[in-house]
Amino acid sequence: MDRRRSPAHQHAAALSWQLTEQGGTLQLASQSWPIQLKRSARRTVGLLIRDGQLTLQLPQRYPLHDLTPLLRDKASWLLRHLQTAAEPVPALQDGGTVEWLGEPLTLVCLPAAGRSSRVERDGAHLVVRVPVAAAADALPQAVSRYYRQQALPYLLARLSHFAAMMQRPVPPLSLSSARGRWGSCNRHGEIRLNWRLLQAPPEVVDYVVCHELAHLLEFNHSPRFWAEVARLCPSYLHLRSVLKQQGHRWMRLG
């Protein structure tokens, strides 16, 4: 038997943290990361990473010392996502690439005749026309706006498809810009989906849609919930893994 510790165990052994209600630090793999603490009426612990900072979202009466096994269990995940969040975001530029439903598109930046930017797809290219005197951030803003405009009809079509499989009416849909969540479903049956999903392969998008629709049956992650996800999306385990491994790249847009 190989008694060498796996990378996950090594990361867990190298983890320590100091935290008060005002915040603290996480020491992991010889690196230090700031921690912010937020308490609310939620029932479970949430981990949110943004701009190289870890936010712990806790129930009101959750004891801080109970975080130790959770943080050790999530050590490898924390290290991977904290390091990724700290990396500089690649700038969108002429000749660069963006992803569109899992396929790369080459950015072509051209001068616009008027005062506003315009974006259109041309085969494997995304042509962005920006005014000559536009600010430096005009290109990324135009690209993000284009994704938002295209997201609602595409996501609504997929939502309608799977709602029909469930023999349910199409629930209300709105777009989300959340940096740490791909979708949500509230107790009123209203679904929000992140517009950045349009970068992911279609089957990954479908998994997120099915996940949120399944909450119409079970407002939790019980076995009955996952059984419904599996019925709608049989390969959900693989697609969920793809989203966990690749999702941080798609979250960077905009």
Would you list the domain boundaries of the chain?
Answer: 7-86, 97-250
3-state secondary structure of 44: coil
Cβ contact 78:47 at 8 Å: yes
Cβ contact 79:29 at 8 Å: yes
Residue 4: is its pLDDT beyond 80?
A: no
Average pLDDT value for the chain: 89
pLDDT in tens, 11-45: 555 788 888 899 999 988 788 889 999 999 888 89
Q: Which residue has the higher pLDDT, 169 or 54?
A: 169
* Average pLDDT estimate for 138-156: 96
Cα separation, 117 vs 111, in Å, equals 9
Compute, in degrees rounded to 10, the torsion defined by CA atoms 76, 51, 173, 250.
Answer: -70
Which pLDDT score, from 0 to 100, does residue 8 have? 46
Which pLDDT score, from 0 to 100, does residue 104 have? 96
CATH 3.30.1490.20, domain 97-250, yes or no: no
Which pLDDT score, from 0 to 100, does residue 89 have? 60
Banded model confidence at residue 254, pLDDT cuts 50, 70, 90: confident
Please list the residues that pair with 50 across neighbouring strands.
Answer: 53
Cβ contact 204:102 at 8 Å: yes
Which pLDDT score, from 0 to 100, does residue 51 have? 67
Which tokens go with 227?
């059984």
Judge if pTM exceeds 0.75.
no
Cβ contact 94:124 at 8 Å: no
Which tokens go with 203?
């089957």
pLDDT in tens, 38-90: 999 888 898 888 767 889 999 999 999 999 999 999 888 888 878 776 666 66
Share of the chain above pLDDT 70, in %: 92
